[in-house]
Amino acid sequence: MIIAGTHSGVGKTSVALAILQQAQRQGIRLAPFKAGPDFLDPFWLAAAAGRPCRQLDAWMQNDAGMRAQLAQSQDPPLIEGVMGLFDGPNGGATAQIACATGLVVALVVDASGMAESIAAIAQGFARHDPDLRFVGVIANRVGGKTHAAILARALQDAGLKLLGWMDAEAPRIPERHLGLAPPARALPPLGAHLHLDEAFWSLCKPARIKAPAQSASRMLQGVRVAVARDAALGFIYQGNLDWLAEEGADIRFFSPLAGEDLPSADALWLPGGYPELFAAELSRSPTLRAIAEAIRGGMPALAECGGMMILGEAIVDADGRGFPMAGVLPARFVMRRRLVALGYRAWPHRGETLRGHEFHYADRQMRAPLPSAFAGIEGDSGVRIHRLWASFQHWWFASAPRFFARLFRGACR
């Protein structure tokens, strides 16, 4: 099932989390997914489901790639949509996922201050694309049982169904400058505020998608890849970890924030995250020195957004306070109070096209020039030094498997 919305901020995440919490209590196994390139909602969805959350993105993955992600689990998928149902490139990111997978769609509507008008809104969404399997509405911010009954009758008169409702007293999820804040504490009890119709669970069915054949190439067989993963650097697509494992890589996690030793490895991946929130702790971490020595010694490395920021000479927060970092790059990274860049990015290279997403509040201020990593790309072209490829982009590895295999093997030039 896809949990879609009329627009951003309507409560898709809260509803999806509440469903996952109820499923956990009832012993129902659901596989969580998030539509679009966002990293933060998946943290919450994974915490509520007690298992990893995977991404579905029609632009980065294409239809075959999305089906491959769905095939990773035999349990019924629960997919939180992105923006409004029909918003995004190519007729709507969430709608495109629904059409490509054949999964049913439940629409979240903010019903605060609304009664019979909910039927007009829901009818418009249900009829806009006849290829969608629209199964009903979940009303959010409902005033109580009487309000819910009015909404249910209005939808029934329009030939639609109220699948459930969430009361207006449900706790809100905290936000941060890149979206929802990652769950630093226990999830709020959203499930206790969601009232589902008995028919709801019967609509949550496994996706009838055949798993694709495994890659026979094993392009990273035996390659040990050290992957930074902690509260400062945690923006990791689960699909990228899946791809590394499928290609034979030996993944070795470590925490720069905790000052852990850099694992014995052949290559290094520094993903994005919130290094600016932990800049003081990172500046004291001995791991940064080990990372710098490894990169200067020729270890192949990919640094994405926040992972690139810890390789500079300093991170400067929005109040002007500077914190020394690894010093591999002759650059300072300065936090801004406004968004610097946002959007999907593509980079054609040797018969493949790298696909990814850029979203950051930091500027890179170079003290000395370096060659571009991804020359000609729209957005940040990044920098190269030693065997390091660094930029503000968050890449989807399976979009260009030969390139990323060469990068982690140290064969990219």
pLDDT score recorded for residue 98: 93
Region of residue 38 (left: phi > 0; alpha: psi -120 to 50; beta: else): beta
- Domain endpoint, select from 168, 203, 238: 203
What SS3 class is residue 1?
coil
Residue 177 has pLDDT above 60, yes or no: no
Q: What is the pLDDT of residues 201-239, one digit of tens each?
A: 999 998 877 766 665 689 999 999 999 999 999 999 999
- Does the pLDDT of residue 129 top 90, yes or no? yes
Burial 66-100 (b: 16+ CB within 10 A, else e): bbbbbebbebbbbbbbbbbbbbbeeebbbbbbbbb
Whether residue 66 contacts residue 59, with contact meaning beta carbons closer than 8 Å, is answered with no
Structural domain total, the chain? 2
pLDDT average, residue stretch 160-187: 75
**Residue 67 belongs to some domain of the structure:** yes
* Alpha helix (H) residue ranges in 12-103: 12-26, 40-49, 58-70, 93-101
Give the pLDDT confidence of 290-304 residue by residue, as tens digits.
999 999 999 999 999
| Residue 193 forms part of a structural domain | yes
| Domain match, 131 and 36 both | yes
Same domain, 184 and 234: no
Same domain, 50 and 188: yes
Looking at the structure, do residues 169 and 231 belong to the same domain, yes or no?
Answer: no
Is residue 64 scored above 90 in pLDDT?
Answer: no
> Does 386 lie in the same domain as 258?
yes
pLDDT at 334 over 70: yes
Contact 259, 285 (CB under 8 A): yes
* CB-count exposure of residue 222 (10 Å: 0-12, 13-18, 19+): exposed
Q: CA-CA distances (angstroms) from residue 384 to 92, 269, 369, 371, 374? A: 35, 14, 10, 6, 9
Query: Which CATH number covers residue 272?
Result: 3.40.50.880
Strands 2-5 and 104-110: parallel
Same domain flag for 199 and 261? no
Q: Same structural domain for residues 155 and 114?
A: yes
370 domain residue, yes or no: yes
- Of all residues in the chain, the percent with pLDDT exceeding 70 is 94
Which pLDDT belongs to residue 213? 66
Per-residue confidence (pLDDT) for residue 117, from 0 to 100: 98
DSSP letter for each residue of 238-291: HHHHHHHHHTT-EEEEE-TTTTPPPPS-SEEEE-BS-GGGGHHHHHT-HHHHHH
Does 405 score more than 80 pLDDT? yes
**287 falls in which pLDDT band (50, 70, 90)?**
very high
Q: Among the three residues 142, 174, 203, which one is the final residue of a domain in this structure?
A: 203
One domain for residues 263 and 193:
no
217 falls within a domain:
no
Residue 208 lies in a domain: no
Residue 216 in domain: no
Is this model's pTM higher than 0.85 or not? yes
Of the candidates 354, 345, 356, 347, the one whose C-alpha atom is nearest the C-alpha of residue 402 is 354
Question: Is 272 found in the same domain as 174?
Answer: no
- The mean of the pLDDT values for the chain is 93
Answer yes or no: is 172 within a domain: yes
Instruction: Domain of residue 309: give its range.
Output: 224-409
For residue 21, the domain's CATH number is 3.40.50.300
Q: Write out pLDDT tens, residues 84-109.
A: 999 987 656 899 999 989 999 999 99
Measured distance CA(403)–CA(390) in Å, rounded = 14
Question: At a CB cut-off of 8 Å and minimum separation 6, what does 166 contact?
Answer: 11, 14, 15, 18, 138, 139, 140, 141, 142, 190, 193, 194, 195
Residue 181 has pLDDT above 60, yes or no: no
> Quick one: 143 and 249 in the same domain?
no
Instruction: Identify the domain boundary among 140, 171, 203.
Output: 203
Residues taking part in catalysis: 305
- Same domain? 291 vs 154: no
The pLDDT value given to residue 275? 97
Does residue 151 surpass a pLDDT of 90? yes
Check residue 179 and report its DSSP letter: E
Tokens standing for 391? 């930029």
Tell me if 192 is assigned to some domain. Answer: yes
Q: Are residues 377 and 326 in the same domain?
A: yes
